[in-house]
Amino acid sequence: MTSKILFGFHAVGVRLKTAPASVLEVHVDGARRDARMRQFVERAVDAGARMIDSDDPHLTRLAGTSRHQGVVARVTPLPPRHSLDDVLDDAEAAGRGPALVLALDGVTDPHNLGACLRTADGAGAHAVIAPKDHAVGLNATVSKVASGAAETVPYLMVTNLARTLGELKDRGLRVVGTSDDAPHTLYEADLRGPVALVLGAEGSGLRQLTRRTCDELVRIPMHGAVESLNVSVATALCLYEAVRQRAHLR
């Protein structure tokens, strides 16, 4: 049976909550007896998980990192996400408001992706999309940094990002990209309607084809010595500006 590793309280906890049958076993640090661990073990047992006492060296080997927080789970992969159309149709049927999609072009660092997914979850984004050949997949590090959001936010890797953005435009979404040389700022853009926000990797930014596909380019105002922000920070600013504008629609 194919399996994968999740680690950290949030990542494993969300999987236990959303898909308990997929959790094959949970390894915990037997030497850790604090309240957080006791509460986690109680929830895992209630979810029917097979619990295995372990030690820090073994957990580190399983997780591939020492940052496991004393919790490592072996799980079966969840079924593939539906298509982007299915995700947006379901959100529309559920009355979740105008579509809000995050597109990441060239983000290959798992820590950045995890942080972006966590922000996308908090902002209520309907989906995160990325190109298959210029992006990191959902690995254990992404899941840990995302604090459970990797289990809740649809992350769809597409063959051709520009073509997918074009399809979103056909659905009525406005495609707004970010660029340091854009004539207008983020705060001048109208993000109240259906929108896809497109961000590139720090330094390289958006690829030319992606850039040309956007309906509008905006920049985040920078008033200090640094020229750009980390993509996960920029993602938070863009998504929550959309959230701020949409609050007036309720």
Lowest mean pLDDT among 27-41, 176-190, 220-234: 220-234
Residue 215's domain comprises 84-249
Backbone phi, psi, residue 235, to 5°: -60, -45
Residue 147, φ and ψ in degrees, nearest 5: 55, 40
- How many Å apart are CA 212 and CA 167, to the nearest integer? 14
pLDDT at residue 89 tops 90: no
Percent of the chain at pLDDT above 90?
A: 71
Which of 85-94, 96-105, 174-183 is least confident?
85-94
Whether residues 57 and 112 share a domain: the answer is no
Domain end (from 52, 75, 98): 75
Mean pLDDT of 176-196: 96
pLDDT of residue 148: 83
Find the mean pLDDT for residues 174-183: 95
47 and 12 part of one domain: yes
pLDDT at residue 81 is higher than 70: no
Mean pLDDT over each residue of the chain, to the nearest integer: 92
Q: Examine the domain organization and report whether 214 and 194 are in the same domain.
A: yes
Q: With 0-12 CB in 10 A as exposed, 13-18 as middle and 19+ as buried, what is 197?
A: buried
Predicted confidence band at 149 (pLDDT cuts at 50, 70, 90)?
Answer: confident
- Amino acid 118: pLDDT: 95
Q: pLDDT per residue over 111-142, tens digit each?
A: 999 999 999 999 999 999 999 988 888 888 89
Q: What is the pLDDT of residue 202?
A: 73
Claim to verify: residue 145 and residue 68 sit in the same structural domain: no
* pLDDT of 241 higher than 80: yes
- Per-residue pLDDT, 31: 92
Question: Would the pLDDT of 92 be above 70?
Answer: yes
Does 59 lie in the same domain as 101? Answer: no
78 pLDDT more than 80: no
Domain boundary among 14, 40, 75: 75
User: pLDDT value at position 90?
Assistant: 82
Cα(236)–Cα(70) distance, integer angstroms: 29
Are both 110 and 228 inside the same structural domain? yes
Secondary structure (DSSP) of 143-211: HHHHTTGGGTS-EEEES-HHHHHHHHHHTT-EEEEE-TT-SEEGGGS--SSSEEEEEEBTTTBS-HHHH
- pLDDT at position 178 over 90: yes
* Helices and strands in the chain, H and E counts: 9, 11
Beta bridge partners of 103: 129, 198
pLDDT over 90 at 187, yes or no:
yes
Residue 1, pLDDT > 70, answer no
Same domain, 138 and 70: no
